[in-house]
Structure 1
Amino acid sequence: MSDTHVTDAIVQVCAAQLAPTLNVKSFFDDASSTASYVVHDPATKMAAIIDSVLDFDAAAGRTDTASADAIIEYVRDEGLTIEWLLETHAHADHLSAAPYLQTQLGGTLAIGRDIIRVQEVFGKLFNAGTEFARDGSDFDRLFDDGDHFSIGSIPAIALHVPGHTPADMAYVIGDAVFTGDTLFMPDYGSARADFPGGDARQLYHSIRRLLKLPPETRLFLCHDYKAAGRDTYVWETTVGAQRSGNVHVHEGVGEEEFVAMRTARDATLSMPALIMPAVQVNMRGGHLPAPEANGTRYLKIPLDAL
């Protein structure tokens, strides 16, 4: 399916759902600056969980489910039925709680098909061995660009938006879009593109696809880091606000200008604090590595590799 065809289909979905019928509840994790979402169709109470967080104390090597338990409590209090556990990409800044949530609430765990490319690259980096399949089978569903699905009666489309990583997806659900790391708030800009498989040119075109949506379309972001001069965290904006005010990629910014800016900026950034544990868990769909002979699970840190 061509980019134009996919974008036209998304515009049609959004145009049919301009009333904000999708209910969105956000959960913000201060430790990783991550926004997770429970979204549901008020008419059917069918729901999805997007980009959940498993708490992780790196110094102690200890996981905790407090953030996920808050989601479970909300879902049960609201009487929701979970259809989907959606991941926008294999996050480098937090561990996914999707497998834990699935055991408690059910649902189909889904991500973009190009997670297979991420598994290939990082499977080698972490020397994961033949027991790590690298075929996407840690997930229940691999979305292709333009795949249709639904949350109850609300139509949705999975949109491939590579650049930050090869596998990034945005989920267009009714009048709302969940962008993952592709875009940040207008005063903060755009995602980095220097991870293995990242590409600033792809990121530019992915952002431009998103910004073809109607200006009133709600955008829900995966992170916020409080831009200079702003004292509060914010993770919801609109296509119109991004078009007019995004400091990296507002209307009028061309591809070459964006790529030069993004490349120079990325060269100044250090790796995320949790990239090593996060990616080797998230490439497995949030499943922790299997216990070794002594019954303990281990995470690897490859030295001098990134």
Structure 2
Amino acid sequence: MTHYVTDMDVHPKVQAFFDKNTNTISYVVQDPASASCAVIDPVMDIDLAAGRLTYEHADEIIRYVKNNDLELDWLIETHVHADHLSAAPYIQAKLGGKIGIGEKITVVQDVFGKVFNEGTEFQRDGSQFDRLFKDGDTYSIGGMKAFAILTPGHTPACMVHVIGDASFVGDTLFMPDGGSARADFPGGDAGELYDSIQKVLSLPDEMRLFMCHDYGPGGRDIMWETTVAAEKAENIHVGQGKTREQFVSFREARDATLDVPKLILPSLQVNMRAGEVPKSDDGTPMLKLPINAL
């Protein structure tokens, strides 16, 4: 297993933004020694029945960045989300910054380019993004060094981003009482997800972990921050030394009972394009509704 080294003495300021419609948490992560920041997993709002896109969630993030006189260096997507649409290009147009995602986005683009019967004009090389991260790649947010860990299993392109003593885990893990995300999407694999979770749990015990989603199991308040130590001790799917075999058996049985996310079709079309909405031949924003495709 790769040994990942981070500077636990760097303590970035993390501001969370919860979107109740999709149970997604987005983040602004600030370098404590400068005005530089990154935005993690921003959400674009959609009224699916009306076919209407709006930007209340993204505008809240933009206001926060502007009101605190911050400079946006990066817009990071932890993976190609299937449950919400990305607002990365909308925020980029207002604040600048580069949009980054894992290099395995090309696998996702190839799979879903076929599902949505995209033509040759849809590039499947990840060129819609400003940066494609490989496992272990580093980048800077002001004076902070960040690095990306490849964590496939939920999707092939999933990555955890480690910034000082804070890690943004995407859908690789949930809060300890939430367990883990599904692994039954095309390209997903429960065994790979277990292995990826072990990478996260190999980080220092005091590492802060920030979730991409929370659903308030048992009716508790929404939460999004925990630690590696808490996950190792308490996670209901992988804690207390549960084996790979135990996890795979549970995860595959559980996934077989789950419904398809309600926003999966619009989300994938938009997010595999780095948040851009596809257009028809006359330039009209247009989403497809493939039948019996998933």
TM-score (norm 2): 0.98
Matched, 1:54 2:41: no
Matched, 1:168 2:162: no
Matching residue within 146, 149, 152 for 1:159: 149
Matching residue within 237, 240, 245 for 2:229: 240
Q: CA separation in 2, counterparts of 1:118 and 1:187?
A: 29
Secondary structure at the residue paired with 2:249? helix
Matching residue of 2:284: 296
Q: CA separation in 1, counterparts of 2:56 and 2:262?
A: 20
Matching residue of 1:93: 83
Matching residue within 247, 269, 272 for 2:258: 269
Unaligned segments of structure 1, at least 5 residues: none
Q: CA separation in 1, counterparts of 2:43 and 2:170?
A: 13
CA apart distance, 1:154: 1.4
Q: Is the 8 A contact 1:150 1:173 kept in 2?
A: no
Q: CA separation in 2, counterparts of 1:44 and 1:225?
A: 34
- What per-residue deviation string (whole Å, max 9, x for no partner) do you get for residues 74-95 of structure 1? 0001111001000000100000
Q: Aligned letter for 2:17?
A: F
Q: Is the 8 A contact 2:14 2:29 kept in 1?
A: yes
Q: CA separation in 1, counterparts of 2:182 and 2:9?
A: 31
Residues 46-195 of structure 1: matches in 2 within 5 Å?
46-195=36-185
- What per-residue deviation string (whole Å, max 9, x for no partner) do you get for residues 211-256 of structure 1? 011111000000001112x421001110000000000000320000
Matched, 1:17 2:37: no
Q: Is the 8 A contact 1:179 1:220 kept in 2?
A: yes
Matched, 1:278 2:257: no
CA apart distance, 1:291: 4.1
Matching residue within 216, 224, 245 for 1:226: 216
Q: CA separation in 1, counterparts of 2:16 and 2:39?
A: 10
Secondary structure at the residue paired with 2:60? helix
Q: Aligned letter for 1:58?
A: L
Q: CA separation in 2, counterparts of 1:172 and 1:36?
A: 15
Matching residue of 1:258: 247
Q: Aligned letter for 1:276?
A: L
What's the Cα RMSD here? 1.0
Secondary structure at the residue paired with 1:39? strand
CA apart distance, 1:139: 0.2
CA apart distance, 1:305: 1.4
Q: Is the 8 A contact 1:186 1:246 kept in 2?
A: yes
Aligned residues: 294
TM-score (norm 1): 0.94
Q: CA separation in 1, counterparts of 2:276 and 2:236?
A: 37
Matching residue of 1:33: 23
CA apart distance, 1:129: 0.5
Matching residue of 2:190: 200
Q: Aligned letter for 2:199?
A: R
